[in-house]
Amino acid sequence: MAKWEFANEVVLITGGSGGLGMSLVRKLLDAGAKVYASDWSDRNLGAMRASFPEAENGNLVLDKVDVRNISSLQSWVQSAVEREGEIHVLVNAAGICGMDSYDKVTESYWDDVVDINMKATFFAIQSVAEIMKSQQYGKIVNISSVGAFTGGAIATPPYAAAKAGILALTKSYANALSPSGICVNTVAPGPFDTEMIADFPQDTMSRIVASTPCRRVGLPDEVADAVLFLADRANKHITGATLDVNGGLYLR
């Protein structure tokens, strides 16, 4: 297991109760970070409080935030800035997927997928940019998907489009922020073992696994370690990059 060191660092994570979010929270707390994690669901936040006693001692701050509401997202970031005075890492892990075919996509579904996966990513980065620039330091890691490269073969067209948009956002923000000591990167996972893929048809999952050279889906900890590699202080010269974590499902 990789050993990470984030002592005295303040880390913001959107989508903290998801499979990836929970793994990130655990690893970051173990590495000494002060973690602010958001989620839209009271039930999910309650489950996190039960799982992490650190929520009682102040090392983990859990907040209800619907990232579709940009003013709420911005207020959450600003609150963390006011409390801590600095933000070292932002991980944009909030996301939704779905498996309906293109002809079943509704306008409301399109809006939710694009707003949660891509729009919130843009505005979360915008919200931390000034404090990170003033520090001349920051690490931002966005979560895309293998679907950004394969299209809707694994998920819906809106999801693939939103995740592809994140790749462009990452490059744009890397150009804008890297001169200020801020590294902006993306992790693009293949399917990994979370609730997000639990409803995928079994024949679909069997086909995906058979097409993957590693012959299995990924694990949340494996994706989390890729995120932390990019967020670590040792990363001083990787920016605008996309790190694939897909077991070889898509080789480029």
Q: Give me the catalytic one of 36, 159, 173, 250.
A: 159
**Identity (one letter) of the amino acid at 39?**
D
CA atoms of 221 and 4, how far apart (whole Å): 13
Q: Which domain holds residue 61?
A: 10-245
In this structure, is residue 2 part of a structural domain?
A: no
What pTM was computed for the model? 0.94
- CATH of residue 29's domain is 3.40.50.720
CA atoms of 158 and 103, how far apart (whole Å): 12
- Tell me the pLDDT of the chain (252 aa) as tens digits: 558 999 999 999 999 998 899 999 999 999 999 999 999 999 999 999 999 988 888 999 999 999 999 999 999 999 999 999 999 999 999 999 876 678 889 999 999 999 999 999 999 999 999 999 999 999 999 999 999 999 866 678 999 999 999 999 999 999 999 999 999 999 999 887 767 666 667 777 788 788 778 888 778 999 999 999 999 999 999 999 999 998 878 888
Q: Is 159 a catalytic residue?
A: yes
Number of domains in the chain: 1
| Tokens 């922020």 belong to residue | 177
In this structure, is residue 23 part of a structural domain?
A: yes
In this structure, is residue 250 part of a structural domain?
A: no
In this structure, is residue 5 part of a structural domain?
A: no
Contact predicate 42/122, CB 8 Å: no
In this structure, is residue 152 part of a structural domain?
A: yes
